[in-house]
Amino acid sequence: MKQNHPKKVRDLVDGVLLLDKPVGFSSNDALIKAKRVLNAKKAGHTGTLDPFATGLLPLCFGEATKFSQDLLEADKTYETTVHLGQTTDTGDTEGEVVETRDVNVTLEQIHAVLEKFRGPIAQVPPMYSALKRDGKPLYEYARAGITLEREARNVVIHKLELVSYEAPMLKLVVTCSKGTYIRVLGQDIGEALGCGAHLNALRRTQVGPLTTEGMLTLEQLTAHPAPLSLLAPVDALLSSFPAVHLNAELAKRFLNGQRLALGKEPVTVPAEEGRVRVYLDDKLLGTAQLGEYSILAPERLIAFVQP
């Protein structure tokens, strides 16, 4: 007779883990592993890293998942090595080499080409991507040998710096807007130099206000005797927004979803309008929009706080 084993009870875990994603893991694989170690009930990541890429993958647990959208929209910084002279079908080391060309480029040519890619540019998304067409990710079509037309998308390259060049390896630092494919950037730079290219390495070092400071590997998380203590607080995701501190009465009204006219209250109001993080003492209550006449409109609220 088949035994029914009781379903494992997951814990209500709230916080942010700055994971150093290893090579060979998808972002979802890394999330599942960390979620299991922490025995967390609810978790999500803040934008995927390709399996061959490493570096900063912020993982959100519990109440922090309410604010993960902000990081999906945030600018990101990468360190990358572009292998000139070789083109692969995926644009990185995971694909097959489809073309090899001689590399005869000078530093002067490299600087001139990099200048063309700074600022607003248009990118055609790669076939090996998770973008969907008719409900199916593009990489499934690519694996079946099908190439579909893709519309170019506008992105912004805020920073594109040459770190070093030792032929055929070109090391760069890139800060870019959401939706930028560094693989495509590397390929396009290679084409502009006349020799083609693919990414040899890719490491993410910043997502919005979050940096590699405090970043942990899966091994460090697994080996720690108290892994929950390694989580950053929920408001680590919100450090770039001004803070508003309410008293107990205002906090109660705020958590009930009421708009507050802060101009008439004993509260210090930030000078700029826009998104703010809201506190009672040192407890995060959620985020809000601060509008004209110091009107505070609740946006996303933390569920577990009771003033």
Residues pairing with 60 in the sheet: 16, 44
Q: Specify whether the CB–CB gap between 179 and 75 falls below 8 A.
A: no
Closest CA relative to residue 292, chosen from 246, 267, 259, 253? 259
The residues assigned a catalytic role are 50
Q: Give the C-alpha separation, 304 to 284, whole Å.
A: 10
Q: Specify whether the CB–CB gap between 244 and 267 falls below 8 A.
A: yes
Task: Output the CA–CA distances (angstroms, integers) from residue 135 to 93, 140, 146, in the order listed.
Answer: 27, 11, 15
**CA torsion angle 6 8 11 13 (round to 10):** -150
For 242-279, letters b (16+ CB in 10 Å) and e give eebebeeebbebbbeeeebebeeeeeeeeeeeebbbbb
Closest CA relative to residue 278, chosen from 251, 307, 249? 251
Q: Give the C-alpha separation, 73 to 127, whole Å.
A: 22
Q: How many CB atoms lie within 10 A of CB 172?
A: 23
Closest CA relative to residue 218, chosen from 5, 3, 22? 22
